Structure 1
Amino acid sequence: MNKYVKIGLAIVVLFLAGFVYWNYFFVFSEGVKGGSLNYFEKKGFVFKTYEGRLVQDGFQSPQAGALQSNEFRFSAVGSDVAQQLERASGKFVELRYKEYLGKLPWRGASKYVVYEVVEINDSSPARNNEIPAGTN
């Protein structure tokens, strides 16, 4: 009987370890998003994490005829990334991120974690394509 308890306990431990890895450490997707950096701040009660919001150009809506802004809420890791984003508020930025299935309190309040700043521009790409006033 003792042998079956040990085998059962080992299976439960392996299952729990797999579950924790899948939900909190498995990278579901990676990508790059670009938009205007709305805000970037350091916050938290116990774990101080960097949180930000990127507002992307254009509108999208799940319902026809309705408008909804397209924003990307994220957490950031690393002091280099944090220093770059603290100086980029209101500017167009491109960020490389990883998406996890679950959130961890010391990693941030979002399942999207930014780990690299690809580019920072003073204005959005839509503004760069506008015709300057008085050139008609």
Structure 2
Amino acid sequence: MKNINEMDSHVNQNESSNQLSGKVRRSFRRFIRVAIVLLLLVGGAFFYVRYYFVFGSGVKAGTLNYVVKKGYVFKTYEGILIMEGFRTESRGTLQSNQFVFSVDNANLADSLMRLSGRHVELKYNEYLGALPWRGYSNFIVEEILSVK
């Protein structure tokens, strides 16, 4: 009789340990799922803020130097606007103020290509990071405000 009771208690212990290990496995799986969802949300928020959130916007005026279409894989429109005035990075040197920008609208880029050498005012948006298909610069020109 003692052997049967001992076997029953041993079986009950195995069942309870199996139930406990099953609960631990389910808890661990749930933790992993929650962690993956949180990582995806944080990663998505970081990507949005870094590459799609408009950090600043404004207007720059100056002489349009050039706008070109270039790139190895992604052909993007890049340009330089030379603004009035000079800046000095070190004592005794002069350098013109250049505004390096990208254009993600092909029609706008074609219009800018025809305005090379003219005084223009450009409205732009500034992003925290550059995307390869949007251009090399963090500054994306949105429209031409005036041409002189």
For the residues of structure 1 that align with 2:91 and 2:73, how far apart are their CA atoms? 42
Task: Write the letter of the residue equivalent to 1:27.
Answer: V
The structure richer in helix per residue is 2
Q: CA deviation at 1:81?
A: 1.1
For the residues of structure 1 that align with 2:81 and 2:67, how far apart are their CA atoms? 9
Q: Which runs of 5+ in 2 are unaligned?
A: 1-27
Partner deviation per Cα, 1:21-40 (whole Å, 9 max, x = no partner): 11111111000000001111
Q: CA deviation at 1:60?
A: 1.5
Matched residues, percent identical? 46
1:82 paired residue among 95, 98, 109: 109
Structure with max Cα Rg: 2
2:52 paired residue among 18, 22, 25: 25
SS in 1 for 2:124: strand
> 4+ residue stretches of structure 1 with deviation over 3 A?
62-66
Q: CA deviation at 1:116?
A: 0.3
For the residues of structure 1 that align with 2:109 and 2:91, how far apart are their CA atoms? 38
Task: Write the letter of the residue equivalent to 2:143.
Answer: E
1:111 paired residue among 135, 138, 141: 138
Q: CA deviation at 1:72?
A: 0.4
Q: CA deviation at 1:93?
A: 0.7
Residues 1:45 and 2:72 aligned together: yes
Q: CA deviation at 1:9?
A: 0.8
User: Partner residue of 2:39?
Assistant: 12
For the residues of structure 1 that align with 2:146 and 2:120, how far apart are their CA atoms? 6
Partner deviation per Cα, 1:71-111 (whole Å, 9 max, x = no partner): 00000121331122011010001100001010101000111
SS in 2 for 1:12: helix
Q: CA deviation at 1:20?
A: 0.5
Residues 1:67 and 2:84 aligned together: no
2:147 paired residue among 95, 98, 120: 120
TM-score under structure 2 length normalisation: 0.77
User: Partner residue of 2:63?
Assistant: 36
Q: CA deviation at 1:62?
A: 4.0
Q: Which runs of 5+ in 1 are unaligned?
A: 122-136
SS in 1 for 2:57: strand
